[in-house]
Structure 1
Amino acid sequence: MRNNSVKRIVFSALIAAIYAVLTNVLAPISYGPVQFRISEIMVLFAFIDPFYIVGLTLGCFMANLSSPNGILDLCVGTLATFLSVSAISFTRKYLKDKTSSLIIASLWPTIINGLMIGYMLNYIAKLPLFLTIGEVALGEFVVITLVGVPVFRLLTKKMKSTLVDRI
């Protein structure tokens, strides 16, 4: 039992580190009104187990430490990720059809980040509000729903670990 807990904690820490590194290595496309955070694909791990919410939120926090949008992005961006991954996990728990629930779950970051980060960027950079919300939402939708869901499904079919078998 303890060995399984250690593995889960290590995997969660690994998720946090990979999220932060990917976001910062790809910084030119990770920040701004039109952002394609490739690391956001990993938010779908919350669909497997709510335990990964902590690692994903921590990874976002670490990534946003170097955000060009400063402390506001550190707070708002991290909160948006926490709400998104919590909603993903909630959707998995309460919708029985796993195929459609994954697609529905993948839309939460589009909605939540679109609104929260879009408003934040409007406030910081004085960009048009609805355009900024749309741009952020578009980036989230492309990365998580259009690219992330097929990649996630492929990985979960290929992997034979106990973490993924629960889907």
Structure 2
Amino acid sequence: MKKSNTAFLSQAAMIAAVYVVLTYVFAPFSFGEIQVRIAEALTILPLFTPAAIPGLFIGCLLGNILGGAILPDIIFGSIATLIGAFGTYMLRNNLPLLAPLPPILANTIVVPLVLRFGYSVNLPIPFMMLTVGIGEILSCGVLGIILYAALRRYKNIIFVPAQR
């Protein structure tokens, strides 16, 4: 295996592991109609490495499974994180400060639908979009930008360039 493939897989695995741990440790407010999933702050990482895209997807998938989520939540919640991570990656060169928007939007749209049709939560979908959106703004927007500011100076040290 080439050095760059090893770096890519290692970075993806570490990001997935951190996502799972953060989801599990903060489980009391990582799930539900009002949620702030601290692990979603990691959706800023595709600005630094493309390995974050599969890492975040696998991390969310495993976090949802370990958190006791139902199958539609495991599938569609993880896909929302995948879409958000890919959107963040696409903004890496031109608009890094807008990078939290794709995961905020993807989860604000998808998660309330999962709550309504998967968990039969009987709250209005626009209300759940508001509550999930606020949680995403806090985790992706606020915590994500703080993480971005902290890592930006050290990106060449922490994230070995992974080429695919």
Q: Report what 1:82 is aligned to.
A: 82
Q: Partners in 1 of 2:138 and 2:66 — Cα distance?
A: 24
Q: Is the CA contact (8 Å cut-off) linking 1:30 and 1:37 kept in structure 2?
A: yes
State the one-letter code of the partner of 1:143.
S
Runs of 5+ consecutive residues of structure 2 not aligned to the other structure? none
The percent of aligned pairs where both chains have the same amino acid is 27
Q: Give the Å deviation of 1:10.
A: 1.1
Q: Report what 1:21 is aligned to.
A: 21
Q: Report what 2:139 is aligned to.
A: 143
Q: Secondary structure at the match of 1:65?
A: helix
Q: Report what 1:110 is aligned to.
A: 104
Provide the aligned length of Structure 1 versus Structure 2: 159
State the one-letter code of the partner of 2:61.
F
Q: Is the CA contact (8 Å cut-off) linking 2:48 and 2:155 kept in structure 1?
A: no
Q: Secondary structure at the match of 2:91?
A: helix
Q: Report what 1:8 is aligned to.
A: 8
Q: Partners in 2 of 1:81 and 1:162 — Cα distance?
A: 23
For the aligned residues, what is the CA RMSD?
Answer: 2.0
Summarize the Cα distance change of 1:128–1:67 in structure 2 as closer, same or farther, 3 Å threshold.
farther
1:62 partnered with 2:52: no
Q: Secondary structure at the match of 2:123?
A: coil
Q: Partners in 2 of 1:50 and 1:15 — Cα distance?
A: 11
Q: Give the Å deviation of 1:102.
A: 1.9
Q: Is the CA contact (8 Å cut-off) linking 1:67 and 1:74 kept in structure 2?
A: no
Q: Partners in 2 of 1:106 and 1:74 — Cα distance?
A: 22
Higher relative contact order (CA 8 A, sep 6+): 2
Q: Give the Å deviation of 1:80.
A: 0.4
| Runs of 4+ deviating beyond 6 Å | none
Q: Which has the higher helix share?
A: 1
